[in-house]
Amino acid sequence: MKRTHYITIMTIVLALLSPAAHASFLHGDTLDSVANGLALFIIFAMPIGGIYLFWMIHILPEKVAEKRHHPQKDAIKTLCLLSLIFGGLLWPIAWLWAYTKPVTYKQAYGTDKHTDYYLEAGEKAMKKEMTQAEIRGLREELDRLEEKGHLTPELRQVREQLVAAEADAVAPAAEGVR
The pLDDT of residue 121: 83
∠ CA 173-118-57, rounded to 5°:
135
Q: Is 111 in contact with 141 (CB distance < 8 Å)?
A: yes
pLDDT higher than threshold 90 for residue 28: no
Nearest to 97 by CA among 79, 116, 115: 79
- 111-138 mean pLDDT: 83
Between 49 and 163, the more confident residue is: 49
Residue 171: per-residue pLDDT: 62
24-33, 58-67, 100-109, range with greatest mean pLDDT: 58-67
pLDDT at 177 over 70: no
| pTM for the structure as a whole | 0.63
- 48 falls in which pLDDT band (50, 70, 90)? very high
Query: What's the mean per-residue pLDDT of the chain?
Result: 85
Instruction: Look at residue 148 in the predicted model and tell me its pLDDT.
Output: 78
Q: What is the pLDDT of residue 98?
A: 93
CA distances 34 to 23, 25, 107, Å, are 14, 11, 64
| Cα Rg of the chain, angstroms | 33
